[in-house]
Structure 1
Amino acid sequence: MGMLTSGAKLYLSSRNRKVDNFRKNPIDLQKKILKKLLLFSKKTSYGIRYSFNNLINYKDFSEAVPVVNYEEFYPEIKKVLSGEENVLWPEKIKWFAKSSGTTNDKSKFIPVSQMALNQGHYKAGIDMLSIYLSNYNSSNLFDGKSLALGGSKQINLIGNAERLFTGDISAVLLKNLPFWARLFRTPSLDVAMMPEWENKLKKIALITSKQNITNISGVPTWTIVLIKEILKITKSQNILEVWPNLELFIHGAVSFKPYKDLFKELIPSNKMRYLETYNASEGFFAVQDNPKKEEMLLFTDHGIFYEFENTETKEVVDLSNVNVGSNYALIITTNSGLWRYRIGDTIRFYSVNPYKIKISGRTKHFINAFGEELIIENADTAMELACKKHKAPFYNYTAGPVYISGNKKGRHEWFIEFLSPPKNLKDFAYSLDTELKNLNSDYEAKRYKDLALEIPLIKILHSGTFDKWLKKKNMLGGQN
């Protein structure tokens, strides 16, 4: 372990006791957080409307305050966007995380308070690093640079409001980083915040190809594009020829399963580590704390109160009443003024001592045209296994139903941008179908003897198709 990493580990060791505390006492901490949030916001417009000062416990809270999605909550957010203060949160909100849109609008704007940055995102980030260094005593993480692939920042003047800053959550976090974190990261903020994604990637490649990079954080797809650009300009065979001290890739936003084999090709080292995080626009929720297991430790002391809606029964419960194996839509109340807000993600619990989860999908991202209940978790896992079997790594994919019409039966149509296509597409479709049936009994039932569903139809897309589509929609880069 290098000198700088040793110093960082000493500094971060104070958080180890805190991490151990929220592992052991999550329910008590959640009760305290709810009480604090209600107390802090009782004089806001929303707090007055729902009588926060009279809410004593979770039962009172759940009966008085409605569960909302973005469309239902947007009228309140719109007031904050227009410059109105003390609407949802007593602290003045100047930052909004911009994420993919809803049925009513192109983008969602999620308020991000300074308290949420300090006591949520950054505090969770410190805990993530303390957990990592505790797991790997030989790490040299801080003896080189941290490469963070973020999005772009914009300044919006809305109505008569003061300047309000928006950008994807990675851009918001980069712009507000504590000074000590800026010392270790690359590239400079002016490069990281470049709005044009393609030119930014090329510039980052030129800059970082000459630096000692020990860790990368970002979305797998854009990290792959960056690594390939660096290999191209340096004429290297693999990225370890450029960054021999690279030891960690911190990823999130999308499933890493389908990309694992490709990363192992690009980074051929048994010492390379991969760390999954659950860091969304609305908060930093969880991190993989055991390198041998994929599930993530839920952050229960970081300014967020959690509730969970069972996707089958629709019952909403707090953390103390969740069940291992059940699928839940995540509902949060935060120190940015989101109240009983349904974020659109679904999660599954794998342990309740401590509380550990995996992201299972999105509440609106699934295929259920024929009663097959195919969720993203099934699709990602099936793609991972089928691609591995056929040695056919891919860059991106999407899928949708082809409905029954006339004498034609229904089926799923998959559009896949392979990095190396399978030799036999028919065999690949059979493998994908088999894995889906193994993973999902409803899908298997609908596929029985082709009575309702036929085998998936696979369409191969040309290289760059997804990026061209994203560029056309002005969505290229960030977490898209």
Structure 2
Amino acid sequence: MNFKAEIAKIFARVISKKESKWIQNPIETQQKIFDELITVGKNTAFGKDHNFKSIQNYEQFKQNVPVRDYEELKTYIERVVKGEENVLWKGKPIYLAKTSGTTSGSKYIPISKESMPNHINAARNALLGYINQTKKPDFVSGKMIFLQGSPELEEKNGIQQGRLSGIVAHFVPNYLQKNRMPTWETNCIEDWETKVDKIVDETLNENMTLISGIPPWLVMYFEKLIQKSGKKNIKEIFPNLQLMVTGGVNYNPYREKVKELMGEDLPVVQTYPASEGFIAYQNDIHDEGLLLLLNHGIFYEFIPTDEFFSENPTRISLKDVELNKDYVLILNTNAGLWSYNIGDTIRFVNLNPYKILVSGRIKHYTSAFGEHVIAHEVEEAMKRTIAKFPAQVSEFTVSPQVNPKQGLPYHEWLVEFALEPQNLEEFSHELNSNMRKLNTYYDDLISGNILRPLVISKVNKNGFNEYMKSQGKLGGQNKVPRLSNDRKIADVFYQLKLIK
């Protein structure tokens, strides 16, 4: 073990001991964050508009501050973007993270001087937690690749703007800069396919020990590496590769495909970063639950998903959450997002410590017949089905077919297989059976002959990449929604002739 690895091992032990203090006091930690946020928020335009000076507890906060999404908070954010101070948080944000909006073009998420360290420290602590648990720090001595957005920033009204992953690139410690790949110039390439090709060229003959990126990126990168090198798998190319770090989407649907490309089941640390804050990471390599970060400048609220669209949904703090129940995640951050609906749904898989899984997007669901199927259910159904068949799935999405040319309506699953099952009819039957077990409303609709069993439509190889390219969203943090409540995505697949 070299000097850098030895230092990392010691540092990991120190940080893990420090983290254990708030982990053991979750409710008190959240209360402290709440008090700190209200104290600062009192002196902002938002705080004055919502009478923060009268707020003494969470119940009063709920009465004063409604839940909002980006569109509903936009009037305040536009003032921030124009350079006005003390709008949502004290002073100006130091960055605006630019993300793709669905209805309003680009979204600008404020990152403050207080919130920026939480993004950096959480990513660091995820790796240190792995080191402390496994006592395997050697990867810090090799080359590390972070597949991310361009680090180029532009300044407007005294605030730097750019993609979150590009902003974070400016905070890589000096002692890791020599290990970091790809080069700065390559990271600045905007066209994703050109960028990945260049990354392949730069990394092919390097001693890669850690690779980080969202699963669809990793699959594309690995496939191009194997094609270029002529090797059988990634471990033949990078024999010293020790760890993968993923985020952005659930890793499980990609696990078997990545394992095949890798040549073995490499350790994976899953993370849950967002422009709004770094929310959770996997702190136990043997437990897929993600540790909810309670001391990172975010006070969390939760709304049961089955109540979210009702007139007066239940709105609770951490102390009242239940196991295995889906909640819409609501954030209050030290960058000035107040009761902000991030759009994600989560479920708690452990309450000591508090661990979550991301179960989907509140706007991404299928409920054309009242079934309200969410991402967790379709991903779990696919996972269970693949476990019984020699099959591999690269990507899939689900849309309702309300008006078929003949027969009853159904759910259409657009599936890109890496390894197609020998008997697709049996595979479909098993998938449908698993969906019925996971969603009682869906089961009732099948039993009542309102819906017929799901239909799988096979997507051409690289069809999902072609779809994303057609939408101008290949690469970056973009991904195809698991579910739709209409035919917009499915129709494009048919228009582009991406269905076999």
Counterpart contact for 1:306–1:333, Cα < 8 Å: yes
What does the per-residue CA deviation read over 1:205-262, in whole Å, with 9 as the maximum and x for residues that have no partner? 1111121111111111110111111112221111111111111111121111111111
- The equivalences for 1:327-366 within 5 A come to 327-366=326-365
Aligned to 1:266: 261
Aligned to 1:301: 295
Aligned to 1:225: 220
Pair 1:289 & 2:287 matched:
no
- The equivalences for 1:3-402 within 5 A come to 3-102=3-102, 104-118=103-117, 120-153=118-151, 155=153, 161-162=157-158, 164-167=160-163, 169-269=164-264, 272-313=266-307, 314-402=313-401
Query: Tell me, what secondary structure is at the counterpart of 2:358?
Result: strand
1:309 partner letter: I
Deviation at 1:146, TM superposition (A): 1.7
Coordinate RMSD, CA, aligned: 2.0
Q: TM-score, normalised by structure 2?
A: 0.90
Deviation at 1:155, TM superposition (A): 4.7
Q: Which moved more, 1:206-215 or 1:398-407?
A: 398-407
What does the per-residue CA deviation read over 1:314-337, in whole Å, with 9 as the maximum and x for residues that have no partner? 211111111112211100111111
Counterpart contact for 1:12–1:126, Cα < 8 Å: no
1:300 partner letter: L
Query: Tell me, what secondary structure is at the counterpart of 1:436?
Result: helix
Counterpart CA distance in 1 for 2:150 and 2:413 is 31
Counterpart CA distance in 2 for 1:412 and 1:46 is 44
Q: Which moved more, 1:290-299 or 1:378-387?
A: 378-387
Query: Tell me, what secondary structure is at the counterpart of 2:8?
Result: helix
Counterpart contact for 1:261–1:388, Cα < 8 Å: no
Counterpart CA distance in 2 for 1:378 and 1:234 is 38
Counterpart contact for 2:416–2:461, Cα < 8 Å: yes
1:216 partner letter: I
Counterpart contact for 1:153–1:195, Cα < 8 Å: no
Counterpart CA distance in 1 for 2:396 and 2:427 is 14
Q: Which moved more, 1:297-306 or 1:137-146?
A: 137-146
Counterpart CA distance in 2 for 1:194 and 1:267 is 26
Counterpart CA distance in 2 for 1:354 and 1:164 is 36
Counterpart CA distance in 1 for 2:396 and 2:280 is 26
Aligned to 1:454: 452
2:112 partner letter: S
Query: Tell me, what secondary structure is at the counterpart of 2:368?
Result: coil
Counterpart contact for 1:95–1:165, Cα < 8 Å: yes
Counterpart CA distance in 2 for 1:233 and 1:114 is 43
Deviation at 1:379, TM superposition (A): 0.8
Counterpart CA distance in 2 for 1:242 and 1:433 is 39
Q: TM-score, normalised by structure 1?
A: 0.93
What does the per-residue CA deviation read over 1:70-110, in whole Å, with 9 as the maximum and x for residues that have no partner? 110111111111222221111422422233323x3233221
Q: Which runs of 5+ in 2 are unaligned?
A: 308-312, 479-500
1:129 partner letter: L
Aligned to 1:430: 429
Aligned to 2:464: 466
2:268 partner letter: Y
Counterpart CA distance in 2 for 1:318 and 1:222 is 35
Q: Which runs of 5+ in 1 are unaligned?
A: none
Taking every aligned residue pair, what percent have the same amino acid on both sides?
Answer: 35
Label 1:347 to 1:235 Cα distance change in 2 as closer, same or farther (>3 A): same
Label 1:461 to 1:406 Cα distance change in 2 as closer, same or farther (>3 A): closer
Deviation at 1:177, TM superposition (A): 3.1
Deviation beyond 4 Å, 4+ runs, structure 1: 153-158, 404-407
Counterpart CA distance in 2 for 1:154 and 1:475 is 18
Counterpart contact for 1:44–1:86, Cα < 8 Å: yes
Deviation at 1:406, TM superposition (A): 8.8
Label 1:352 to 1:163 Cα distance change in 2 as closer, same or farther (>3 A): closer
Deviation at 1:404, TM superposition (A): 4.8
Counterpart CA distance in 1 for 2:382 and 2:100 is 24
Query: Tell me, what secondary structure is at the counterpart of 1:342?
Result: strand
Label 1:407 to 1:11 Cα distance change in 2 as closer, same or farther (>3 A): closer
What does the per-residue CA deviation read over 1:332-355, in whole Å, with 9 as the maximum and x for residues that have no partner? 111111011010011111222211
Label 1:91 to 1:193 Cα distance change in 2 as closer, same or farther (>3 A): farther
Counterpart contact for 1:174–1:189, Cα < 8 Å: no
Query: Tell me, what secondary structure is at the counterpart of 1:419?
Result: strand
Counterpart CA distance in 2 for 1:244 and 1:302 is 36
Counterpart contact for 2:95–2:159, Cα < 8 Å: no
Q: Which moved more, 1:259-268 or 1:198-207?
A: 259-268
Q: Which moved more, 1:350-359 or 1:138-147?
A: 138-147
Counterpart contact for 1:309–1:315, Cα < 8 Å: yes
Counterpart CA distance in 2 for 1:34 and 1:226 is 42
Counterpart contact for 1:365–1:376, Cα < 8 Å: yes
Query: Tell me, what secondary structure is at the counterpart of 2:270?
Result: strand
Aligned to 2:483: none
1:199 partner letter: T
1:368 partner letter: S
Query: Tell me, what secondary structure is at the counterpart of 2:316?
Result: strand
Query: Tell me, what secondary structure is at the counterpart of 1:317?
Result: coil
Counterpart contact for 1:150–1:193, Cα < 8 Å: no
